[in-house]
Amino acid sequence: MTDHSLGTLVLRPSGKRSLLLLAYGLPLIINGAFRIGDGHHLSGGFALAGGLALAALAMSFVLPGGQSLRLAPEGLEIRSLFLRRRFRWSDVSDFRVGRFGAMLFDAPSSSGARKVRGVSAPGFTRFRAEELARHLNEWRSHAMQP
């Protein structure tokens, strides 16, 4: 692990994942458009909506400020297209791998109660889920040292 006292580390989604989502989304969009044109409005609408959703998700990965995981000496910031959540390291529990490779941690909710939070890890960065959990825990430990 590198020395984190130098500043901030920003992790962004993999470009390969964006291309893969786009590759799945475009045929759905085309299929949906043709189905609607042939009078199959319901199935065409579902295909079109699914394709547009996948394409929008892929675009959110590549847009500036789209999705990122920012690690700084003061805490962690999880950013998605329109949402930014910040957590101080002192408020965050150890990171662990959950279902489907999601990063799970406990953090306070707006009501003050502790709540399990998650960050989608598969394909998010160059790290595998277990590696990302280890790096996040190392970063947290380093940041919490006096």
Average the pLDDT over 28-39 and give the result.
82
Average the pLDDT over 113-137 and give the result.
71
- Residue 138 and residue 80 share a domain: yes
- Percentage of residues of the chain with pLDDT beyond 90: 0
Q: What is the pLDDT of residue 114?
A: 72
- Residue 79 and residue 37 share a domain: no
- Residue 26 and residue 56 share a domain: yes
CB-neighbour burial class of residue 97 (10 A; exposed 0-12, middle 13-18, buried 19+): middle
How many domains, the chain? Answer: 2
- Residue 139 and residue 88 share a domain: yes
pTM of the full predicted structure? Answer: 0.62
- Residue 33 and residue 8 share a domain: no
- Residue 58 and residue 21 share a domain: yes
- Residue 106 and residue 134 share a domain: yes
> Higher model confidence: residue 43 or residue 58?
43
Lookup: tokens for 96: 């662990």
Structural domain of 8: 4-12+67-144
Q: What is the pLDDT of residue 110?
A: 67
Asked whether the beta carbons of 32 and 46 are under 8 A apart, the reply is: yes
Q: What is the pLDDT of residue 4?
A: 44
Asked whether the beta carbons of 101 and 87 are under 8 A apart, the reply is: no
Average the pLDDT over 7-13 and give the result.
79
Q: How far is CA 70 from CA 33, 43, 80, 84, in A?
A: 39, 40, 11, 10
- Percentage of residues of the chain with pLDDT beyond 70: 76
- Residue 79 and residue 118 share a domain: yes
Average the pLDDT over 68-75 and give the result.
85
- Residue 97 and residue 57 share a domain: no
Backbone angles phi, psi at 88, to 5 degrees: -75, 145
d(CA 97, CA 110): 24
How does residue 121 score in pLDDT terms, banded at 50, 70 and 90? low
Asked whether the beta carbons of 91 and 106 are under 8 A apart, the reply is: no
Q: Which residues contact 10 (CB under 8 A, 6 or more apart)?
A: 68, 69, 70, 71
- Residue 126 and residue 73 share a domain: yes
- Residue 34 and residue 77 share a domain: no
Mean pLDDT, rounded, of the chain: 77
Q: What is the pLDDT of residue 12?
A: 76
| Domain limit, last residue, from 23, 38, 62 | 62
How does residue 3 score in pLDDT terms, banded at 50, 70 and 90? very low
pLDDT tens-digit map of 78-92: 887 778 888 888 888
